[in-house]
Structure 1
Amino acid sequence: MRIVLFLLLFVFTGESALSQSVDRVFKDISEKENHYEIHVSDGTYRFQFYTPDIVETSFIPEGETFQEKSHAVVMSARQVDIDVSQTDSSVVFQTKGITARIQKAPFQIAYYRGNKLLIKENGYSKDSLETIQFGITEEEPLYGGGARALNMSRRGYRLELYNRAHYGYGDRSELLNYTMPVVL
């Protein structure tokens, strides 16, 4: 399973009180043929740039493999000019359109358009469930996740990303027909 953050002309902004796992430790960064990898103590983050405005960030937990098929990106990657800089405390990927700043300790990823913070990833964890947390403001709604009998805004719901029909529902069903691991 891979968790994908798809960034294209964002609607997210803000910060949150949630924080990244204090156990996650930055190890190193490597450049591959068409993407970058940041290795951490419990897996690998993969940064694939499709255009100067689109970056797909995938987390591959330790012991799992990257799945090429994406639910978020349907285009092919192309050559993008990326300025990569690294200090003792951070790694920065910057294009003309978007910047990904990775803080090494405590580990955290934040995405910017110019100097404006778009969204922060506050952590991925896997125990009995797989969970990804984002730092967004209280005013920001979350849309997506597939067909469900819920409000359009999915904020406040823990949604399973598993296809299982739920028949006989009244006015609410958190799992109904198709689920999609994409949130806007």
Structure 2
Amino acid sequence: MKRVFTLLLVAGLFSSCGSSESSNSSSDSTKKDTKSKEGISAESSEPAKAESKWQYSEEVDKMTSAKNYFATIESDNQLDFEFPYDGGSNGTITVRKMAKSTDVLIGISKGQFNSHSDGTTVKVRFDDKKPINFTCSEPSDGSSDALFIDSPKKFLTLLKSAKKVIVQAEFYESGLKEMEFDTKDFKWNH
């Protein structure tokens, strides 16, 4: 028994001599652990605040030197479409201020909105309120992966106080689908 204990002691000494850096770091981590157990700092005692899902950006218009502002959020859910748009697609809401105009766009990463010659409508639900129909316009370049909300001021007013938004739109050969957004902490002062 003495022999086993002596061998373990010698092996322990060799392993600690070979790496003084690791023993220092382990003693440092022990000190840190002791400190964290003794008293909780003000930072760790506060609950972690969830970060906003909104992404904000700005750019300068090269022709006018005016600043353009953008806020974009991606849907929490993915939409599934058939080939060639299979593999999951995310919706987006983009608010942009360019020159003196503010626009709201609904977009899709893969897929096509179904547009009609007599107008396109999306149904939007802000929090637990009744759904509202918004008429939309196609982009001037004819692309089918975005729609412009025709009444952006009304949409923005409702968006600023909403924590959750659901947008239902019709998609090419896929019918009606819903995009869900966690819109809390939206800030727009432009």
Mark yes or no: TM-score above 0.5: no
Structure with the larger strand share:
1
Higher RCO (CA-CA < 8 Å; seq separation 6+): 1
What TM-score results when the alignment is normalised by the length of structure 2? 0.25
What TM-score results when the alignment is normalised by the length of structure 1? 0.25
